[in-house]
Amino acid sequence: MTIRILLVDDHSIIRAGYRQILQKHRNISVIAEAETGQCAVDCCKQYRPDVVVLDLSIPFNNSSDEVSSACGLETIRKIAALKLHTKLLVLTAMSNEPYPSQAVTAGASGYLTKHCAPEELVDAVKTVAKGKQYFSVAIRNEMNPDTEGCSPLASLSKREIEIFSMLAESFPINQIAESLCLSPKTVHAHRANILRKLKLKNNAELVKLAVRIGVTAS
Q: What is the pLDDT of residue 121?
A: 94
Residue 182 lies in a domain: yes
Query: Per-residue pLDDT averaged across 127-134, rounded?
Result: 92
Least confident of 49-63, 128-142, 150-164: 150-164
In terms of Cβ atoms closer than 10 Å to its own Cβ (0-12, 13-18, 19+), residue 50 is buried
> Does residue 192 sit within a domain?
yes
Among 143, 174, 191, residue at a domain's last position: 143
Final residue belonging to a domain, choices 94, 119, 143:
143
In a domain, 166, yes or no: yes
pTM of the model: 0.67
Residue 152: inside a domain: no
- 115-128 b/e (C-beta count within 10 Å ≥ 16 → b): eeeeeebbebbbbb
The pLDDT of residue 62 is 75
pLDDT the model gives residue 101: 84
pLDDT of residue 168: 87
The predicted structure's pLDDT at residue 212? 75
- Burial bucket for residue 78 (CB in 10 Å: 0-12, 13-18, 19+): middle
**Does residue 109 sit within a domain?**
yes
**Mean model confidence pLDDT for the chain:** 87
Residues 14 and 121 in one domain: yes
Overall number of domains in the chain: 2
- Residue 192 domain boundaries: 158-212
**Is residue 35 located within the same domain as residue 131?**
yes
Q: Say how far apart CA 121 and CA 138 lie, in whole Å.
A: 14
Of 202, 210, 105, the residue nearest 168 (C-alpha): 210
Instruction: Specify whether 189 is located in the same domain as 130.
Output: no
Q: Which one-letter amino acid corresponds to residue 92?
A: T
Q: Kindly state whether residues 162 and 136 are assigned to the same domain.
A: no
Classified as helix, coil or strand, 35 is coil
What digits encode the pLDDT tens for the residues 142-187? 776 544 445 677 778 878 888 988 898 888 999 999 988 899 999 9
Tell me, what CATH number does 81's domain have? 3.40.50.2300
